[in-house]
């Protein structure tokens, strides 16, 4: 059997796809890759919420799967939106890497005054930690972000630690504590989505890590109940059923947080509904400030 695997063209996407292809090759599956450009890769000069959120990185690959151009695609799972098109399945979730954020800086931590990030969540959490920090918009691939920091546009930048590890990058800086900087839902997890046909899903499923799938599944249920996507600053993290979930004001001045132990999808849905109800004012404020219709 042979499979055609789609990927974005960024260095990180290619490294993640290579991991999946190597695993499939060891199983005796022939693979070839196809690089597909997405709107998120070409429109790097504007905030994500203005071009459709994280889902812009996934949509073109979903369409290629449905059209039959590719059989499967590899994604950072946090980029996959809650609503999925018919005919596409999440065939496997690989064992999770670090879910944490990493603050990279060149000088001394005490001299950090300007931090770069494109994430509303990271922005809000940084401002909650230190309202005196200036947070500036930063888009682009990992190399572009590092280059801009080293050229002095930013004193520090926030990146996913898992991405740095996968690329083999060793930067000066520090891991941000999960309790204070609760990660994005599914951060650190790689997913393989594929055409929803048994001859494909049965093969891809062999790459699945059940515990990671369970944890990220709980995170996604809570995320779906909360709504808001990347527009609302929200962190949701589950490890072995223990959940920390929070929603913040865009400026970090307020937050609503829940910690709970969750064992079933029903409990996850109840948690997400409770979080949304408790934080509905923060969600509405975020949409209003970003100029987005709810």
Output b/e per residue, 76-102; b: 16+ Cβ within 10 A. Answer: bbbbbbeeeeeebbbbbbbebbbbbbb
Q: From the centroid of its chain, how far is CA 148?
A: 22
Non-local (6+) Cβ contacts of 225 within 8 A are 268, 269, 271, 272, 273, 275, 276
* 101 in catalytic set: no
pLDDT value for 39:
53
* 145 in catalytic set: yes
Per residue in 54-91, pLDDT tens? 456 788 999 999 999 999 999 999 888 878 899 999 99
Query: Count of CB atoms within 10 A of residue 44's CB?
Result: 12
Quick one: the chain helix, strand, coil %, rounded to 5?
Answer: 40, 25, 35
* 21 in catalytic set: no
Per residue in 239-276, pLDDT tens? 999 999 999 999 999 999 999 999 999 999 999 999 99
Annotated catalytic residue: which of 96, 122, 166, 195?
122
- Residue 173 phi/psi, 5-degree rounding, is 150, -155
- Give yes or no for a contact between 230 and 131, defined as CB atoms under 8 angstroms apart: no
* 122 in catalytic set: yes
pTM of the model: 0.87
* 213 in catalytic set: no
**Quick one: pLDDT band at residue 132, thresholds 50, 70, 90?**
very high
- The rounded percent of the chain whose pLDDT value lies above 70 is 92
Annotated catalytic residue: which of 145, 195, 220, 276?
145
Domain annotation for the chain: domains and CATH numbers: 3-94+189-208 (3.40.190.10), 101-175 (3.40.190.10), 223-288 (3.30.160)
Annotated catalytic residue: which of 21, 194, 230, 271?
230
- Give yes or no for a contact between 192 and 92, defined as CB atoms under 8 angstroms apart: yes
Annotated catalytic residue: which of 62, 79, 155, 255?
79
From the list 14, 25, 30, the residue with the least C-alpha distance to 163 is: 14
The mean pLDDT value of the chain amounts to: 91
- The mean pLDDT value for 281-285 works out to 91
């Amino acid at each position: 059997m042979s499979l055609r695997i789609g990927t974005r063209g960024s260095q990180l996407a290619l490294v993640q796809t290579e991991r999946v292809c190597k695993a499939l090759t060891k199983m005796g599956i022939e693979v070839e890759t196809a690089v597909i450009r997405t709107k998120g890769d070409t429109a790097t000069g504007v905030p994500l919420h203005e071009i459709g959120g994280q889902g812009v990185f996934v949509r073109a690959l979903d369409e290629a799967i449905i059209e039959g151009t590719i059989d499967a695609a590899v994604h950072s799972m946090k980029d996959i939106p809650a609503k999925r098109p018919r005919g596409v399945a999440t065939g496997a979730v690989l064992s999770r890497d670090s879910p944490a954020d990493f603050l990279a800086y060149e000088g001394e931590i005490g001299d950090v005054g300007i931090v770069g990030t494109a994430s509303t969540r990271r922005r809000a959490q940084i401002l909650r930690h230190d309202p005196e920090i200036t947070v500036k918009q930063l888009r682009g691939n990992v190399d572009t972000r590092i280059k801009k920091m080293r050229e002095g546009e930013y004193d520090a930048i926030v990146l996913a630690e898992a991405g740095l590890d996968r690329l083999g990058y060793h930067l000066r800086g520090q891991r941000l504590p999960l309790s204070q900087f609760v990660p994005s839902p599914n951060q650190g997890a790689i997913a393989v989505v594929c055409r929803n046909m048994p001859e494909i899903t049965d093969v891809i499923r062999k790459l699945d890590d059940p515990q990671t799938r369970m944890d990220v599944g709980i995170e996604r249920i809570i995320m779906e109940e909360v709504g808001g996507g990347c527009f609302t600053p929200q962190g949701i993290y589950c490890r072995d059923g223990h959940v920390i979930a929070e929603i913040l004001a865009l400026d970090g001045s307020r937050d609503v947080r829940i910690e709970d132990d969750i064992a079933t999808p029903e409990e996850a849905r109840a948690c997400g509904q409770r979080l949304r109800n408790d934080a509905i004012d923060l969600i509405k404020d975020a949409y209003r400030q970003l100029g987005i219709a709810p």
